[in-house]
Amino acid sequence: NAGVTQTPKFQVLKTGQSMTLQCAQDMNHEYMSWYRQDPGMGLRLIHYSVGAGITDQGEVPNGYNVSRSTTEDFPLRLLSAAPSQTSVYFCASSYSLRGRGGTDTQYFGPGTRLTVL
Amino acid sequence: SQKIEQNSEALNIQEGKTATLTCNYTNYSPAYLQWYRQDPGRGPVFLLLIRENEKEKRKERLKVTFDTTLKQSLFHITASQPADSATYLCALEGDGSGNTGKLIFGQGTTLQVKP
């Protein structure tokens, strides 16, 4: 298994440009999520999905859109990039976070380092 | 909403000693708490999960405790090695129901083990 893959690894955008960060997993995980990581801020949840066709907002959703048309893929769209979106973006997946009996181990991708000028 | 606090200052210890990292949360007790390791330029990697009804969990040189009265988890690495140098993150569910996708993370504590 490839696990969780993310593309691209690095990206530079100009303010106002749009782009899509790709995330795919081959573990048949129901749950997928996007985080951004900034120095001193830790990982902050942007959006998450508990299954195909279902998405919800995390802590910092503004400026980002997501969709989940398949179990495997969970792309993150930046609609109009801003310098404040300069960050490292991580995608993660797990079997399920539903119910208090789950193990919910998160598997992270290698990250995308985004710079917005 | 839930907040997680980890010591933002780096922890420097000598090889062979026990490293102890702290994770405090502010509100409801979560159904579980997780610990991850992150190396520079890489995504976090899962280490251990401890549930609300467990007081202690061990895996090789790692030990995690969970005190719901103190709202605190401690992460111990015994007989530490330079290879243990990394940032360690704690995480827990975001709203207390155990039924959402809102897993939230602390900012992490960087451990440096000196030979």
> What is the distance in angstroms between the Cα of B111 and the nearest Cα belonging to chain A?
15
pLDDT at residue A27 in the model: 92
Least Cα separation, residue A52 to chain B (angstroms): 14
Q: DSSP states of B5-69 as a string? A: EE--S-EEEETTSPEEEEEEE-SSPPSEEEEEEE-TTS--EEEEEEETT-SEEEETTEEEEEETT
- Min Cα distance B82 → chain A (Å) is 23
A:37-76 residues touching chain B, CB 8 A cutoff = 40-45, 48-50, 56, 58-59
- Cα A94 from Cα A62, distance rounded (Å): 24
Q: Does B14 touch chain A (CB under 8 A)?
A: no
Per-residue confidence (pLDDT) for residue B98, from 0 to 100: 52
Nearest to A58 among B45, B52, B102 (CB): B102
Can you tell me the mean pLDDT for B87-109?
77
Choose among A44, A100, A109: nearest Cβ to B43: A109
User: What is the number of CB-based contacts under 8 A between chain A and chain B?
Assistant: 77
Average pLDDT over residues B4-8: 86
Q: Are B104 and B2 in contact (CB under 8 A)?
A: yes
Q: What's the pLDDT tens digit per position in A24-77?
A: 999 999 889 999 999 877 899 999 998 899 999 988 999 999 999 999 999 999
Please judge whether B101 and A92 are an interchain contact, meaning their C-beta atoms are less than 8 angstroms apart: no
Q: Residue B42 burial by CB count (10 A; 0-12/13-18/19+): exposed, middle or buried?
A: middle
B46-63 pLDDT, tens digit per residue, is 999 998 888 899 999 999
pLDDT at residue B53 in the model? 86
CB contact under 8 A, A43 and B49: no
B25: which 2 tokens? 């949360």
Search chain A and give the residue with CA nearest B89.
A42
Q: In the prediction, which pLDDT does B51 show? A: 85
B47 and A105 Cβ atoms separated by less than 8 Å: no
**Contact residues on chain A for B104, CB-CB shorter than 8 A:** 45, 59
Q: What angle do CA A80, A111, B76 make, to 5 degrees?
A: 130
A79-90 residue pLDDT tens: 999 999 999 999
